[in-house]
Amino acid sequence: MRPAQSNTPQWIALASICFAVMIAGMASAEPGPANSRESAKRSGDQSQLASVSESMSVRFSDAETKEVPDFQKHVMPLLGRLGCNGRSCHGSFQGRGGFQLSLFGYDFKADHAALLDENSGRVDVDDITESLILAKPIDADMHEGGKRLDEGSWQFNTLYRWIESGAVANASIQTLDRLEIQPAEIQFDTDEEELQLTAIAHWADGTVEDVTELCRFSSNDDAVAAINENGLVHSGLSGDTHVVVSYDRAVVPIAVTRRVQVESSIDVPPRSEHPVDQLIAIKHAKLGIIPSPLCNDSEFIRRASLDITGTLPAAEEVRRFLVSDDPNKRNQLIEDLLDAPGYAAWWATRISDWTGNSDAQLNNVYPMRGAASRLWYEWLRVRLDDNVPYDEIVEGIVNAQSRQEGEDYREYCKEMTQACMPGNEEIFAARDGMPLFWARRNFQKPEERAIGFAYAFLGIRIECAQCHKHPFDQWSKDDFDQFAKIFQNINARANAVSKDSNQIRKELLESITDGKKLNNGELRKLVYRAAQNGQVVPFPELTYVDQTASARQRLAKQKKSKKGMTATIKVPEGFVLGQAEPVKLDKDPRSELMRWMRDADNPYFAPAIVNRVWSNYFGVGIINPTDDMNLANPASNQPLLEYLSTGFRDSGFDLRWLHREIVTSHAYQRSTLTNASNARDRLNFSRHVPRRLPAEVIHDAVLLATQSTVQSQKMRSTMSDMAIAADINQGRNQRNFALQVFGQSERESNCDCDRSDSPSLLQSIYLRNDIEMYQQLASKNGWVAQACASLGEAGPAAKDNPIKDQIARKADQARLQTIARVKRYLALNENRRESQRPSLEKNYVDLKKRLKQFGFETPSLRELLADPDSWQSVSRDEAATRRVSDSLESVIEDAYLRALSRTPDQEELAIAMQYINDSESVADGLSSVMWALVNTKEFIITH
């Protein structure tokens, strides 16, 4: 069901978000009322302070205390603070010193059993002082990990008192409602300030206590705010970050801000009323940042074209845009780009990255090499071109069925055989579902699917919880296991078919093998050959194995043989992340997954795609990395992420709404110019931060800049030979060298880190010296050849012809030949002259026309007959010289517009003109100019 459209005005919704965030802050792991000691003191309300237990160092300073520490609340967090269950100590997978604890100490049952194991000697309730948990940490010589505490300290007393009381643990895990941190936000003004955090635990049983001394503290940026093991925060450089407090299953980030101190005055750009800009401006005001002015039109058309469509704008498009005085031309350009073929092509490639469309992992899934990845891409591209809502695209992947409704297995195989033939991808794109997501070779185990699904659609890295409690989030190993169960009965292996398809599959194979029994390798070759010849071959299909139904059948058989049997079947269950209600696994649970993701309260689905799209335009996400949305990695601007996520849902998951809302903002359109307040800002969107273009975009940009106008227009309209359109051969052992060099996503997993944007020496070598570059510049269908033709010069394919003087030399040869002919004519007698005169005049008229075409002066025939030697040389007339010069300027301008989407300044133009004039040929000069432009930073980065 499509989410209801919101009738709430944008600004009311925006104000509500800002107000809610200002009130709630980020002070608790889960929503709840603020409970600040400082606010209580200011208000004079002491009642809420009275219920908070004092710190552990106070309560257990006396060894004679009667209080008994709680194993979950006190003992295990204390061992964590002491480092006992860390990776380098007993929390490692191998343990340490013959003793092992769960990493970070969240498997309370296993840890309690390990501590009380008689063979470990860690806890001895009969002889407390002999307990190694006490004896080792106070003796540096005895303890490999060094001295960790002093005898008689509150830490020692806590452990001693727990053992003394019987070293018991609660039978069930206690629930921490929330962890409150005071203060909820930190604002520093200088680089020498300190502030102590206080952590208050609110338990479900009503207990409220100060657990500061049991928490673990970290900082996301020590340069801005460092924090020690006791929770003391030290100010650093100007900027903003978060310090993170962890206790039990709570992970709480606290925003830390230090304003930029600027002495000089800075021009403030005009205020923007765009909701995105308003939310960013609130953060800028807090930081003291003044944003950069807007970029110019040349920068905007290049930036928007590359970011929205992954394509360089054509030179003529840039010319028209630059001369237009329409005040709405930027918004109109955005609309045109969203309708361009490149939009659907580029974003199909991006979503292919995030969903794991890997030819290597789809090998052998369909009986034609490379077909599966092509079909996957085309299925996405068609839907993006039609602006199908994002949730419906995802539903087509998540809930995919191999067969259309009413389609039998034979019909399915026939259509799939046709679809896999190169050029027939639209047949597959017309089908409702895209089951290939589930069919990858590295996606067959439930655990692999849980990890990949979380990456692709939720933007979270849950794999850490596969072995232990997630160090930066609330997920436990049990959460991971319960989530993975949801995917355990999906079967999409290369030979999977439903029961009703087995006979037809057998018949299709027999028609291919003529009934012969072959081994798997031989059979695969025959099937591949048959498919390539258009013969219908069997295809795998996605099935759901209902183990509950199988169990019922087994039970029915047992009941027949054993009368009176009353055994029941327990329906297996799984859990979606963060939900208390289980998902019954007596049917395909994928529709339940989609319902959960579409829910307005889902904190991952909409923010995940919003964050990724934002990152495409800014080079950094609102949450960064974009696929690591965890409690310890909060958004740099939470109100902004909430606004866009809410608006995206209210729009009906309209991707074009999301693109439009981002790129129409001033934040996106700011220039690269910096000022004293934002020169170091990379996370708060106060300026455009240049970034290297993605691999596919660079590959295509080189082609579009160096190909002829006809060829580049064909590429843009048909997407042929375009890497952004997956039209480059990317076979398992045939990866395009340029794409590989520039870090194209390998799609080995769903991790965004599979794509690299790091610069390397090899990238520079490719652009400067690779044979592909020189072939492009020297191509007879290239821009250099086209430019030379427009100047009347020979192209780069001509050999041993100094093109600059070629026409002048030919003209001079014609001059000498004409003079010789005139002299022979004059040597004739009068009668012979009379007969030859018409031919001489005709030939000389033709010569004058040819020479005049190229701007050369010629004397009249009368002058030539009077004195043949007076015609000493040929030279272009002044107007012709000016026309050639103007044409060359136009060609150089075209080169700049093609490569950099701007015209050259006077100095650049003069340098290029001089270089071409000094070159051995015009073709050489133009080739070098284009080569130089493609090798500039301006070409390879956004600006």
607 residue type, one letter: P
CB 478 within 8 A of CB 486: no
35-58 burial, b at 16+ Cβ within 10 Å, e below that, comes to bbbeebeeeeeeebeeebeebbee
The span from the CA of 79 to the CA of 248, in Å, is: 12
- pLDDT, residue 594, reads 95
From 514, 517, 501, 527, select the one nearest 364 (Cα to Cα): 527
Contact at 8 Å (CB) between 540 and 494?
A: yes
d(CA 13, CA 6) in angstroms, rounded, equals: 10
Q: How far is CA 385 from CA 354, 655, 873, in A?
A: 18, 11, 63
Q: What is the pLDDT of residue 11?
A: 37
The residues facing 252 across adjacent strands are 245
pLDDT value of position 773: 81
Rounded to an integer, what distance in angstroms lies between the CA atom of residue 314 and that of residue 19?
Answer: 45
Instruction: Return residue ranges of the chain for CATH 2.60.40.1080.
Output: 32-51+174-258
> According to the model, what pLDDT value does residue 46 have?
36
Separation in Å, CA 222 to CA 219, 234, 239, 746, 816: 6, 9, 11, 33, 82
Distance, in Å, from the CA atom of 310 to the CA atom of 343, rounded to the nearest integer, reads: 7
Reported as half-sphere exposure (CB side, CA atoms, 13 A), residue 362 has a value of 27
810 and 854 in contact (C-beta within 8 Å)?
no
For residues 894 and 906, give the distance between their C-alpha atoms in angstroms, rounded to a whole number. Answer: 14
CA distances from 99 to 314, 425, 728 (A): 67, 58, 55
CATH number attached to the domain at 32-51+174-258: 2.60.40.1080
Ranges in the chain, pLDDT < 50: 1-50, 799-804, 881-882
In this prediction, residue 468 carries a pLDDT of 66
Give the separation between CA 52 and CA 88, rounded to whole angstroms: 34
- The counts of H helices and E strands in the chain are 40, 15
User: Rounded CA gap, 367 and 540, in Å?
Assistant: 10
Burial of 867 (0-12, 13-18, 19+ CB in 10 A): exposed
User: Which helix (H) or strand (E) covers residue 76, if one does?
Assistant: helix 76-81
Question: Are residues 923 and 798 in contact, defined by beta-carbon separation less than 8 angstroms?
Answer: yes
Q: What is the pLDDT of residue 240?
A: 94
* DSSP β-ladder status, 198-203 and 176-182: antiparallel
| Phi, psi angles (nearest 5°) of residue 254 | -120, 125
For 607, 699, 774, 806, the CA distances from 784, given in Å and listed in that order, are 47, 18, 11, 17
**Rounded Cα distance, 741 and 736, in Å:** 9
